[in-house]
Structure formats: C-alpha cells, structure tokens
Structure 1
Amino acid sequence: NPWLKTTKLVAKPDQVIGGRGKAGLLAVNKTFNEVKAWIMERMCKDVTVAGITGQLTHFLIEPFVPHAQSEEFYVCMQSHRYKDEIFFYHEGGVDVGDVDSKASKLAVPTGLDVSADMIRSELLSEVPPGKQQSLALFIKALFDLYKKLHFAYLEINPIAMIGDSTIVPLDLVAKIDETAAFLCASMWGQLDWPSPFGRAAYPEEALIRDLDGKTGASLKLTILNERGRVWLMVAGGGASVVYSDTVADYGFGHELANYGEYSGAPSTEETYLYAKTLLSMMCRHKHPEGKFLIIGGGIANFTDVAATFTGLIKALDQFADQIKENNIKIWCRRAGPNYLEGLKKLKVASNKLGLGIKVYGPETHITAVVPMALGLVPVIEEPDLSGGSAPPPVRKLIPVKNKVKVPKAQKVPPKGEKHTIVTSTPETKAIVFGLQNRAVQGMLDFDF
C-alpha cells in the first residue's frame, strides 16, 4: 500500500483486547519506520492488560486521521431478547467513561425498524445541528447492516466526524450471532474466531473444531490448563457443564484442564480421534501426583454407548504405556443405549491393558465419580457387569445424617382436572423447533 510511506500512521494490537489506549498500546501519528520499530519492540512479548497477561502477536497499521477531540463520538448497538438498543454519546475516545449510565439510548423492538428522524431526535440532541442529519443517516445505515448481518454487539469508539462531514470509524469491536450462519454465512465470508487474550490457541482445538464441522455429531474442546490434573471426556453439552461445575465445587477448578463434549451419536472413528487428542495432551506434561481422566455423561437418548466406547478403547490401547507412565487414573460413569455392552468392553480392555479403570453405570449418580476420583470420599463398589441383558443391580443408597421427611401424597386433583401440578399429560402438544427426526424418535423410544 503506497500510503504506508506517504502518510502518518496509527498502529495497535489487533487482538481481543479492551482498553488498549489506557494500556499504552496505541502508536499515533507515526511514520512507517517508527511504526515498524514500535511493533517490533512489542511483537511476541508478554503484556498485562486489565490483570490478564498475554502475548502480542497481531498488529494493525492504518492511516492516521487528523481531527479534534470535539469531533469524536461514541456509538454502540446491542441485542437483547425482545429488542435491539442503540447507544450514543456526544464524546468518544479513551476517556469516554461509563457510557451505560450517561449515553442516550434508543430501544428498537425486535422486527421493527428505525428512521433517521427518530435517531436524530432521540440520540443526537448534543451534536451540533449541522452534523445531525449526516450522523443520523450513518447510524441508520449502520443499524440496518447490524441487523442484516446478525450482529449481537457492535461498538465504534471513537467515530470521528471531521470538518467536511466525512465520517470515519477509528476503532471497532463487534460480536456476531454464530447461530445465524445458515442465514448469512455467504455474506460474512471466511471468519477467524480469535482466542481470548491471554490464552493461546491450541492446534488440538483446531483439529476438533475441524472434525466437528464435518460431522452431524457435536465435538467440542477448549483447553483451560494444559498442565492441569483433571481432564474430562463428557458426553453431552449439559453434562459437560455439570461435570465442570462439580470439579470446581470440590475445589479443583484450578486443576481443570479442559472443557468440551462429544455427543449427538459420534461414530467409532470420531470418538477415537477425540479420545486420542485428549490422551496425547494429558501425556504431554507429567505431574508428580498423577492425573485423572473422568469419562462421564448422563443417560444418552440415542448415542450408542457401545459404539463410542469401541473408539475410546482403541485410543486407550494406543496410549496404555503412556497412561501408566504418567500415573493417569481413569474413572467412568455412563448410561444409555447399549451401555451395558459398552461398560463390559471397557472393563475387559482395562483388565487386559492393566489400566485399573473404575466403571459405573446408571446405578451411580451422574457426578459421583468426581469426588471418588479426587480422593475426597470413599470409593463405592463397582456394579456387577457379568449379567446378560439385565441392567446392573440397583445402587445402594448412601447413608446421610440429616434425613428428609417423606412428603405426603399429593392432594386429589380438582374436579375436571387430571393433575394438581403443571406437567405433561398424554394430551400435551410438544412443539419441536429445529426438528431432528432421529433425536426426537430416540427420546420418544426412551421415555415410553
């Protein structure tokens, strides 16, 4: 670009960082050589911004736009459940302050439009009259684009309106609604999803993300602490939250290494690749106290537990020596279609490989393996998996000190009613949004 050497420049980190100006991460009104020197001083160096330490790896160079402080404004758009909201403040820049409390706001109910006249009357009273019309038309066009491209948040601070009424956005941050990809992916083009500042992106995360994009199943992986001791391989988005919260509740949040899920009936090969990725990262750094792999999940609706465990066992077989070398203890609690066959296969593989895996089914509470794995409660006896197609024996209740009184039977329903509480009846109509025949059929089969 020829303007690099013919005009003054601005340079700043192009990463997910807020408050760059206050952190001294802006170079303003510099020559190209000065900008290069400024960037090289900071490239791949650790900095701390708002208490978060991370490495600067990407920078942006743009033309410097001379303007007065009085020509800077602030504009922001946010989406809420039933409305969009436009914020405007007649001052902008690094020291704009708490805009939530002092900005003018215009609420636009979902599905409705806004006119330039509404914007001018509701938001621009503090703007010089000669600039109001042009600025109102710009904000109107920006809001139309905001809705068309399904943004969830968009902030320009500052936006400069220089002498000839030219409008120049000087700094912008935005979030898009990823679930709208089916509507406007072609308009978005190729998007890169940057990692939060302070957390490096891992190639393993990219691998699972790529795998997730090629399958109808759901495969997710986020590395929280690659040296952590507690690793999770959890089936189901809801279960993954429950297990992560349970680890944190027991005081091991700082040791939680990953967050993710494998669900939606992944194939044997997909489960193998997912498990292989986790195990390779677990074995990367030894820990003197060893590590834990907790394989968990609720009662699956339509995921074939036996099929997914075949992939898991393949990965365990491949990493058996490294698992023992790194003193990794494996705990499993799983249920769902063909769970008994899957648990049997896992236990046989454990005995064959000498891994000592503790295996539990639906007779055990969904997160009971977490405190047992962490050594916080006594280990309960594993269920007998030697039976045929019959489920394992009913679990033994854990004795508690404070016994809860058994509630009395419900009252008789009022005349003409079937229930005393709001619940489903055979006449209840269920509306499924985003119909997936296989999922719904599996739920119906399971529930009835």
Structure 2
Amino acid sequence: MSMKDKTLPPQEILRFLCPLCLRLRPPPQNLIKVNFRSRQALCKILAQEPILPSPNTSSNPDAAISADPARIDESNPANMNLSELVESYSEKAAGMNSIFSTIIKKYEELERENGGLRREAESTKTKLNDQENQLRTIRTEVDTQKMELENLRTEKKDLENVLTTTRTEMDTQKNKFNALELNWANEKTHLTSGHALQLRQMGEAHAESLRLKEVELDEKQALVDALTRRNYRMRDEINELEEKLEEFKDMELEAIDELLTAEIKYLESKKQTEEAINEGKRMHSLQIGCALTAAVYQNRSATTEWSKLEKIICDLSSTIRSSLKCQFPDLQRALDLSREMKEKYEESLDKNLEDQRRRRENAHGKTAEGDGRQEMKEDKVSALLPRNDEESVDQEEEPNKLARPTRKREADRQLVTSGKRVKSM
C-alpha cells in the first residue's frame, strides 16, 4: 500500500492518549481551551462563596485578600487539589502540544523524503527503459551485420566457383599447348624456317597469355584471401560485440537486482516509519522521538543507495554509447570496402573475358591465313635463306628476348599494385 492510502485525517493524527485517564483526547489546543474554561468556572465559584475573616487577621481587606490562599487550603482542600490537577494537566498538555508539533513536522519531512525517493525510482525506471530500447537497436544492427556477412560468404563461394572454372580452362589450354608443342616437335623436321619462326612466335604469344592469366589468377586469389581475412575479422568483431552485449545484459541484471533491493529497503523503511508513527500514538514522547529518528536515518541510507544506483546506470549508458561510437563506424567502413572490392573484381573479370575472346578470334584468324599462304612462301624462303639458318633464327629471336623483360616488368608492377591494394584493405 502507498503512503497516501495509509495517511490519517488531521483530526485523527492530532488526537493523543492521555497519561492520566488513558483515553484518546482532542488536540492540545482544544484542551487548553477546556482548561481555561474550567479555570474561569472555578474562579466564578470561588467568587460566589462568602469570604469569612479569620480571627488572626485585621479588618484590612488587602490582608484578607492576601490570606485567601491559606484560607482556601485549610477550608476547602478539594478545590486546592483540583487547581493543582488543572495546573499540572495544563502543563502536560502544553508539553504534549509542543511534542506533537515536532512529531507532525518530522512526519511532513518524512513524507517529502519519501516523495523524492518515489520520483527517483520513476526516473531510474525510465532510464532502464531507454537502455532496453538502445539494446534492442544494437541487436537489430547486429542482425543486419550478420545478414551482410552471409551475403559476403555467398559472394566468396561464387568467386571460388569462378576461380575453379578459370583453373579448369587453364588446364585445358595447357593441355592444348602441350599437344601443340608435341606436334611442332614432330613436324619441326619437315617445316621450313619461316614456318618454324611463326610457330615459335605463336607459342611464345600463347605462353605469354598463359603467364598473364596465371598472374590474373594470382591476383584473384589474393583478393579472395583478403576477402576471407576480412570475413574472419568481421566475425571476430561480431563475436566481440556479442560478448559486450552479454556483459551489458549481466550489468543490467545486476542493476535491476540492486533496484529491487533498494525498493525492498525503501518499503521496509516505509513500513518502519509507519510502525514508528503508530507506536508513537501509543508510546511516550521520548520513545516516539527515538523511533522517528531511526526511521529518518534509514530513509537517508535508502537515498544514498539510490544515488549510487543512479551513478552505476549513468556509467552503463556512457560505456554503451562510447562502445557504439567506436565500433559501428569501423564495421560500416569494412562493408563499404568489401563492396568496392567486389565491384572492382567484377570489372576485372569482365575485362579479362573480353581479352580472352579477342585473343582467341585473332589466333584463329592468323592460323587460317598462315596455312593458306604457307605453300606460296616455301620456295621463296628456301631461295632467300642463307646456309647458317640457325644464326638467322637466333638473330630474329633477340628482339623477342628483349621484349620479354619489359613484359615481366609490367607483370611485376601489376603484382606490386595488387599487393598494395590488399595491404590497404
């Protein structure tokens, strides 16, 4: 039950237990009025009674007036006892009035402190609701990142399938090249030097294309390795975020437990204050004051615990915000970089496929023209060739040898640029 339900009306609060008759009496102010009226009535009764002069006194009226109290004590002791009782009763009533005024003030202070604690509890509940909403947003963001990781895994699988297909094509091309080399070795004795040079050039061009394809495959493999490393990093970051979420959940549960303990202490202190007030209606004024001071100290301890809880919750919110500001931008950058690498990789694949198609068309055209013109040039070449055919062939191979290092340098440069890209990733 709340404090408002258990509060009594002011008339019930101001009533108190009389120590003489052990009955509930009206407030002290009314008692003072009653005592004043009773005293007036006694004065009227005493005024109506005849005043007899004593033999010891003279005919002086002032002396008679001064001797009235002694005469009253001797003649009518009941009236004297009544006046003493009335005076003691009025003194006790005045003391009780002051005590109950202090009790009412302390009760009002306790009600104010309880209202402040209630407001603090409501504020902490609102803060906890805000933190739950923040945790829900974090969970949704983690789920979206998991979905993006699954998409990256599917893209990785597609890239691996493309690599397997390109490797199979490379194997088939190598087999064809080996078959061509065998045929060229078998037909080398029967072919002329011009045809042999042409075949050699074709073989070198084919070997160069194979080497370029191998370089491209290595670059693709490096990109795939970079993507796998990025996926592993993203997975580790997500695991760290999940661990932090679990830690925040544990901290939230601890804060809730502390809240419950604080609320229990608050209710206990509230019950103790109410019990102290109820006991104060039955007990002596000193016992009432001690019980109320104990209740005040317990309420103060409850307020200190609530302040500690507020500090803990503020630290929790600050740590959550700082961790979110530190981690989620890095994840967004990583996802953007992975998307850019995917687009670049698709563009490079399209370019490589177009280059392969053009080279195949050019190779088929050259072979058809070479077979048609071979028979026409055999006689002319045999007449023009010197005796040392091997020296002429070596002289023709020298420019090809000079051209090879330039191609190797270009390939090395491409490898260096691809390595730098991977490192930057």
The structure carrying a bigger strand percent of its residues is 1
TM-score, with normalisation over the residues of structure 1?
0.15
The higher-RCO structure (CA 8 Å, 6+ apart) is: 2
TM-score, with normalisation over the residues of structure 2?
0.15
Larger Rg: 2
